Amino acid sequence: MSSSLLATRRFAPLFWCQFFSAFNDNFLKNALVFLILFKWTGPNSDPLVALVTAIFIFPYFILSAIGGEAADRFDKSVVAQRLKLAEIAVAGIAIAGFWFDSPELLFAALFLIGVIAALFGPIKYGILPDHLVEAELPAGNALVEGATFIAILTGTIVAGFASKNGGSPASFAGLMMAFAFASWVSALFIPRTG
């Protein structure tokens, strides 16, 4: 059943939207950690590394409920499309941070990525019952979770390679924008929920 869901328009766009978005979130978070550790602060980096995780997770505490309300009140596919379009703009801020070697811009981008992720979380799970029949829900949930964890792992690994020797702003920029754009394009194909 899982492979057949991935071939349907009612599920595949959401799957890929989530995969590309989770990759980007973790690529940015871990690239920032690697830059703090190996380029900016060295051995005195513990507080900043802890701050990276706190800044990314904090929006979940304050905004997940708002994301849930948006999922109940508005067409989930439209909200997803708008959030993913905003993610392209945030990727632009992150690119500027990489390009100008600015921790401040990168922390701002990370916070905004956390805001988008917190608002998108309830949408991605709330949309599944709108497009899947009851018997497909366990497989749909498993695929979304699987995509998320694979994206976290690959985003972390790719961030490590991209950050080698201080990283190249061009490679950071290309990856961030490509995955943000891919997530938005995927969101455009999510069927309307009403």
* Whether residue 1 has pLDDT greater than 60: no
Q: Residue 162 domain-assigned?
A: yes
Residue 65 tokens, joined: 């409920």
Q: Residue 159 domain-assigned?
A: yes
Residues 19-38 have a mean pLDDT of 87
Q: Residue 140 domain-assigned?
A: yes
Number of domains comprising the chain: 1
Q: Residue 8 domain-assigned?
A: no
The structure's pTM equals: 0.90
Instruction: Supply the pLDDT for residue 13.
Output: 95
Q: Residue 11 domain-assigned?
A: no
Query: Whats the size of the chain, residue-wise?
Result: 194
Q: Residue 35 domain-assigned?
A: yes
Domain interval for residue 66? 27-185
Q: Residue 193 domain-assigned?
A: no
Q: Residue 36 domain-assigned?
A: yes
